[in-house]
Structure 1
């Protein structure tokens, strides 16, 4: 069940226009500049034929400007499916296996992704539910909306936006919370909250009543997600003393099951710029995670053993200066406040990962990337979305997403709208189509 769109403030459907008058039309970067001119025509014909693409929008890897397709036949494009992707991958591998090594730069799949605003769910505040910026937003199978800020409680609204209850109260006793870092819902409708300040996980039933809690040996800076076995997968986010294991997995009793992975040097400032990076799991309990200033996505199995690294740096991405970071690292022993200031100044000037979302029903991975934008002469943060298939293929890019993503399901993306004054906050709802 989805939130009741009939009671939402209406919004006209259609392809979203960007704040800088650029429409959101997304395409994979087709890296064909290095291919010899004598085979470009053949490759383009083969790719278009194999992928059944009728939209002619492309985005050059060296040019940030997005060209808008004028093709009016987009409705006839075969919708994206996993079967389509598998066929395109097979066709592409067959075609490129007989070509030059340069042809390997041509991606096996290209898609056009569009966002359409379809409504706005107003959340009606009460004396018991005064809302500010949320840390986590979740929507369950019944359409209930859970709004978690850093301090408790977690506010619950029904699909009409009416406040119906809360989870937890401030404190350190049983059923109480102090610092909500992560909030998850299991398959039985139970709620699991990771309290970062006291390294404790509390479980609540589907009727919001407290069940039990247990402590884990996790860093305060860790981020957690619940897998399909109801084990907590923790992503360590702050580098204090070298390369700690990146992932630590705990069972429902707080016992550590496994640890694996290494933290990149970019994680040195992760905690200072929190929230950043991200972690998600798919239907097979594979784990996907990124750090705040590293465009890569690591994919592991349920035990944390590495399966793949998704490594496709977007053309707009401003990468960290590893040489500078290494120099600062050498100057930071003992800890030096000036080094921290320099490190933060550098990280505010580059791109950073703001979140990862897994859409289990469609085998999709969304990665949020925030990048400084100086189009109007002033520094603004632009949010772009990189869309992947869980098998490791880049599908496309959402240029200038409406904002930071709050929640994604199999057909909708939700963004928080916090108006000024006494107006109620809301969730602005978009559908997304991959063609």
Structure 2
């Protein structure tokens, strides 16, 4: 069968790698793709993730059997709806269910209505009212969230009133995150360890993938600005059997049932961002897609044919599928461009990529790369590469991943040096 993947980041590279292992797949296309994905798929750089009409025309002209999308912007804009209306078979979340990520106020109100544990919150559409609330009711630290999509960066943790007032202006007045800041959620700051749980959902049934833990801050020891993710590890030793039991009792099925009750049946990948509080797990956020870079440590360990999984989700037969993962660990260290996430240069030549050829258990997932006019692979984003390694234990995987970061280089290469260091405390 022929598969078309929409997107061009590290998540999509990991997805394409998993799809390439399927014996059912004869050809993979990716649009727009990147220089790393081009080793496994035919990339179509001229068609972007929001070009629905061009995607559909291409899919029909090339007899595509399955379209796969796991990126927030196109899903929230209705990519799945458009492709299905054109008669195509597509894996992803429809627009009316993707709102669970597209609007933080929607997801918070959903959790309140159906008794799903989350941080206390208030929603604001007026900047001055938000500031007045902060002046009279806030307990610090406090969290400000742009309501809409902001590439994983629309969340501010404020330690005092002045920081919070500046944050409101940044989100709602200055529109740093564009229209995502038309509405804003102010919520209590929860303490504990964060764990990411990805799940396949077919509208009613859920199959959890392996747990993972992301590192959002740019600097070591979780300092500096929030990013799209600087590295991750899986499974999380902090996701215990007790936490799993509470998650099923209080969160996972209740969320899927809530969406069905709201006549927004959820199909696709549902990402649960959880905080392990003293009162048990609470939802920090939902995403309607594979996490990035969580996907880079989860999918390399997937034993089940991913096409069989996609089919089960689409057909509503997930309960009949046996979802299996390798009993191994994986760690991903993101190599970023100097200056990310604020200002950075592109077009820096990447060397050493050949060192990953035929290295079993090692992966170099491209997040921001392209070919220049001479055919060299160069940087094309803030997050450039995701260096992933598998090991018998998390510590072994971490050592291997950091070892492999030395195999590749580009001008301004930056990384955190403590990805997975919490493993030592487990």
Flag the structure with higher helix content. 2
Flag the structure with higher strand content. 1
